[in-house]
Amino acid sequence: MTDFKTVEASVINISELMQPSHSNFGGKIHGGYILNLMDQIAFACASKHSETYCVTASVDTVDFLNPIDIGELVTMKASINFVGHTSMVVGIRVESENIRTGKVKHCNSSYFTMVAKDDHGNSVNVPGLILNDKNEVKRFLKAIKRTQTKRMRKSEFDKASFSYENYMEELKQHNVKIELPDKY
């Protein structure tokens, strides 16, 4: 295994024409189908970088920005944004193109955390990452910040002292009505 690899060494691009069988009841391409394709490209990108089998550990920030229509060409671009010891964050950009007009829409960006595994299912070390431009450095730093934010949120919610009572004022700012039984 190589000690370090460039981001470019494991970039993956796929394109697929969206068909009626991929649509939901609203006539747009089903989000679950897009997520499935994203998981496949994340696996390919992470496996290419790590030179081994990888599994999906988590998916962050899945925002569907624009709907995808039947007949549009969907292109997904994946690259390694961050590496840890055994894990990698794969950044994925999803665009759709109307093949008649050439209009391109940004539909989704997401981050898949993938873990490298050996043949026995044990986590294995992955190559480090060589960052060659400012965008790659920014993506790496953003991945660190997302991880820190996730850890802080988990720490807050996992504390034994976490209680909904501490958030009653915040809850009042939302469209919610709380009707708990007295024994709660």
Please provide residue 108's backbone torsions phi and psi, each rounded to the nearest 5 degrees.
Answer: -170, 145
For the stretch 121-174, pLDDT in tens is: 999 999 999 999 999 999 999 999 999 999 998 888 888 788 888 888 888 899
Measured distance CA(75)–CA(8) in Å, rounded: 17
CB 90 within 8 A of CB 45: yes
Token representation of residue 77: 């671009």
Model confidence, pTM: 0.89
For the stretch 75-130, pLDDT in tens is: 999 999 999 999 999 999 999 999 999 999 999 999 999 999 999 999 999 999 99
CB 74 within 8 A of CB 18: yes
Angle at 12 between CA 19 and CA 23, to 5 degrees: 15
Element (H, E) at 134: helix 134-158
What the chain holds in terms of domains, given with CATH numbers, is: 4-131 (3.10.129.10)
